[in-house]
Structure 1
Amino acid sequence: MKKSISYLPSTNQRDLHFIVEAVLQRLKQTEMIILFGSYARNDYVVYDEKYEFGKLQFYVSDYDILVVTSGVSDGGAIRSLSNVEDLYYDRAKDPDRQPPVQFISEDMKKLNKYLNDGRYFYTQIKQEGVVLYDSGKHKLARRRKLSFDEIKQQAQEYFIDKFNYANDFLEGAKFYYEKEKYKLASFNLHQTCENLIYAIRLVNTLENPKQHNLTKLLNSVKKYSNEFIKVFPQDTPEEKRLFELIKAAYVNGRYDPDFVVTKEDIDALVPKVELLRDITKRICEGKIGEYGETM
């Protein structure tokens, strides 16, 4: 992992130094503090302001920070970090432009187990992260080669988690449909698709780079089955329109007052999403079964 934030502007460096000192003062059991996400990757947004959907919108990238502790309860860590957040925001001269801070706390032993087991979220943090503080008492574990039994277990866990999320969003879409809130129904259908595709990627690779663009998501799983092409065919202008609608629903379905979704749109989209669900279930269960046969 990187150990310097010299590539960041001085304002951001001061923010992060303040956060580190505040964490160390209030959470004595801290072993490591790791910056991850956009500021670690150096693709952050300082301040983006524009008019969208008739309103002035602005965006500032978060500071994503993993605080690694030992010998402290989850509740104790959360309370201490909440106090740090309050101190951090209290010093802000311009709250609208101040990067939000998002803390994740993890026990050192648990973190090393997750890294050793190759858990994708934590291995990604290790790959892209910047060490802001290191007590020097511990080393981060390396990812080991997993047995097929362990691969099967992780794949099964990921499948259950994402597939259940997808079904919950699908139920949400039907709930909003009954309430005639078709825009929210379209957003829930988008999230159903997103979680189904996450399930496919995790079952096949145990990895899942963050993505919301349905075109990119679908392209990433076509190699696992030609059946995915059948879900959103692009043969006619109407088919293309429906796909662009559900694709846009991730943002527009929540924020754009002029985004139009009709009852007929949802009627046409639900069978497509249910087809994706059925294909996902079959593909994922088949792959998990293959892991079992290899043991």
Structure 2
Amino acid sequence: MNTSLGHLSAGQREMLERAVKIIVRAVRPEKIILFGVYSGAGDAGLHHHLPRELGAFDLLVVTREEERRSDYELQDIIESRCREEVAVTALVHDIAYVNRRVKEGQYFFSMAVLEGILVFDARLAPLAEAFLPDLEAVRMLAEKDFERWMGQSGDFFHSAEFLKGQRRRNAAVFLLHQAAEQCYQAILLAFMGYKPTTHNLDKLRRYTNRFSIELAVLFPRDTKEEEELFRLLSSGYVNARYKEEFTISAEELEMLTERIRRLLDIAERVCLNHFISLSKRATSG
């Protein structure tokens, strides 16, 4: 695997080294693969404060076969330990799972091995040999998955609009949460052929940041008002259904509705462009 960090600045290399040390101390992984670095640079004309995590490192943390803690528990440990010093978005899977997906030719895991950068290796177990997947097959599956999940997202969104009109605000915000969740899952399937099993909108949002600056700044969370708006959306999954004390104003619900409408519009556009790019790469050989 590639181990060169020449494309990173000295500051980025220092931050990455710090993150790797924290992760190794915290979870003793088998390997750590850097598969993305996103600073948000080069995207002009967007008058927003960029979220801190746009400087994040996207890491695939490969755990040892004898690891007994769940992937989700390890992910939370990694991200919480790193949070104060360096922004990290971590995907965690054990070595057996990663090797199985690589042998199957799964797009994300294959490309992580082929194009990612190995930044830590305990050398206790080898990675399976990766091969370039059939990009036309990847595109066809990605489009199929995207249409399915975006269709569900649209259904939830339109139902939320109906309930908003009926002044059933709590039910509407729950459906907006579902629309956002399904949309983020659709984006991940479009770009990676992979989606984590989580209802956590913050994690899903961070996973998709690197695909589009528009996605990244949609929920900037740089003010108390923005933080509260995202909190209302995130808590819609449980609290809006089960907590009597949960309330959302008509104005807040309207703002969330428009924000999710923009999310769906952005998803359609950036994923269509991605499918076009995949098709060109497939035909160019």
TM-score by length of 1: 0.52
Tell me what 2:205 maps to: 218
Tell me what 1:257 maps to: 244
What's the offset of the Cα at 1:206?
Answer: 0.4
Tell me what 2:154 maps to: 167
2:143 maps to amino acid: Q
Give the aligned CA root-mean-square deviation in angstroms: 2.6
Tell me what 1:177 maps to: 164
- Stretches of structure 1 that go unaligned for 5 or more consecutive residues are 1-40, 45-114, 121-142
- Match of residue 235, structure 1, among 206, 209, 222: 222
Give the whole-Å Cα distance in 1 for the aligned partners of 2:254 and 2:233: 12
Tell me what 1:269 maps to: 256
* Deviation per residue, 1:121-162 (Å, 9 max, x gap): xxxxxxxxxxxxxxxxxxxxxx98531110010010011011
Tell me what 1:278 maps to: 265
Runs of 4+, deviation exceeding 3 Å: 41-44, 115-120, 143-146
2:142 is the alignment partner of 1:155 = yes
- Stretches of structure 2 that go unaligned for 5 or more consecutive residues are 1-67, 72-102, 109-129
Which range moved further: 168-177 or 224-233? Answer: 224-233
Whether contact under 8 Å (1:231, 1:273) holds in the other structure is: no
What's the offset of the Cα at 1:293?
Answer: 0.4
2:182 is the alignment partner of 1:203 = no
Q: Which has the larger radius of gyration?
A: 1
2:185 is the alignment partner of 1:191 = no
Superposed, 1:83-102 pairs within 5 Å as none
What's the offset of the Cα at 1:262?
Answer: 2.0
Give the whole-Å Cα distance in 2 for the aligned partners of 1:278 and 1:238: 23
* Deviation per residue, 1:51-101 (Å, 9 max, x gap): xxxxxxxxxxxxxxxxxxxxxxxxxxxxxxxxxxxxxxxxxxxxxxxxxxx
Secondary structure at the residue paired with 2:236? Answer: helix
Give the whole-Å Cα distance in 1 for the aligned partners of 2:203 and 2:281: 31
Tell me what 1:27 maps to: none
TM-score by length of 2: 0.53
Superposed, 1:93-112 pairs within 5 Å as none
- Match of residue 290, structure 1, among 260, 277, 280: 277
2:140 maps to amino acid: Q
Superposed, 1:8-87 pairs within 5 Å as 43=70
What's the offset of the Cα at 1:236?
Answer: 2.3
Give the whole-Å Cα distance in 1 for the aligned partners of 2:241 and 2:70: 25
2:242 maps to amino acid: Y
Residues matched between the structures, number: 166
Give the whole-Å Cα distance in 2 for the aligned partners of 1:229 and 1:284: 15
Whether contact under 8 Å (1:197, 1:217) holds in the other structure is: yes
Whether contact under 8 Å (2:210, 2:216) holds in the other structure is: no
Whether contact under 8 Å (2:219, 2:230) holds in the other structure is: yes
Superposed, 1:110-121 pairs within 5 Å as 118=106
Tell me what 1:247 maps to: 234
What's the offset of the Cα at 1:233?
Answer: 2.0
Secondary structure at the residue paired with 2:237? Answer: helix
